Structure 1
Amino acid sequence: MLIGPNGVGKSTLALNLAYQALVHGHTALFTTACQMLGELAALDSDSALRRRLHRYASPDVLVIDEVGYLSYSNRHADLLFELISRRYGATSTVVTTNRPFVEWSEVFPNAACVVSLVDRLVHRAEVIAIEGESYRVKEARERADQRAKKRSVARAEKKPS
């Protein structure tokens, strides 16, 4: 579990974990929560859903990126719970989130399985809390500072002596 604010590199770390799994001969799959849950929820037959759940349940390492960025329905929560339950204790699952676990009831409002979902995710897990400032905000501020300096220099050069 990688927990931290937006823009601190959780997705990059998760991608690197998946890459290292591949380098060491394991299977890995990287997906966003939105992509995976949307795909699973759109399936209308039980057999298609079982096949797709198997696709997500079978890799040695599954990375689910960006849990917490959007809110999901009870159906989405149930699907994620089903997947995590299938993988529980058998394979590795990496989840990135910008929300502490106590706020997951906001991500999956009214879902009865949230407590059990979090319980399975954190049991035997390494929970890594990443603190820091968003690199995107930092880079934007640095660009703004550079533009302000250039404008200041340009104004100084235009002033008559």
Structure 2
Amino acid sequence: YLSYSSRYADLLFELISRRHEHKSTLITTNKSFAEWGEVFPNAACVVALVDRLVHHAEIVGIKGQSYRHKEAQEHARARTAKRKPSKEAI
């Protein structure tokens, strides 16, 4: 993952603040809130941002393998199978 400057954290905070208590917001991430400091390493607003996100929130944690990762593995196997000549062709 890339880390983002404080400016991006400020912009996200502004968006969440404007929507807070007015609109629903859905966010998906594979980072726990405790790890958001790594994504926005120099941002002072991360704690306030997470606080607004979790206020009145319903948090759904999903465990399991990534669907994208599973698809990528299936595509890789299919490409490998296409490259190998079948025994009947030999």
Quickly name the TM-score band, shorter chain normalised: 0.7 to 0.9
Shift of residue 141 of structure 1?
2.8
Distance 2:42 2:66 in 1: 31
After superposition, the C-alpha distances for 1:119-147 in whole angstroms (9 at most, x for unaligned) are 10011111111222122332333341671
For residue 95 of structure 1, what is the aligned residue in structure 2? 27
Equivalenced residue count is 88
> What is the identity, as a one-letter code, of the residue corresponding to 1:103?
E
Deviations 1:76-96 (A, max 9, x none): 111211221121111111111
| TM-score computed with the length of structure 1 as normaliser | 0.47
Q: Does 1:120 align with 2:63?
A: no
TM-score by length of 2: 0.78
Superposed, 1:1-80 pairs within 5 Å as 69-80=1-12
Match of 2:39 in 1: 107
Cα-Cα RMSD? 2.3
Give distance in 2, aligned partners of 1:96 and 1:137.
16
Tell me the amino acid that sits aligned with residue 35 of structure 2. E
The residue identity in structure 2 corresponding to 1:111 is A
How far the C-alpha of 1:112 sits from its partner, in A, is: 0.7
Higher strand residue share: 1
Residues 137 and 87 of structure 1: is their aligned pair in 2 closer, same or farther, counting only changes over 3 Å? closer
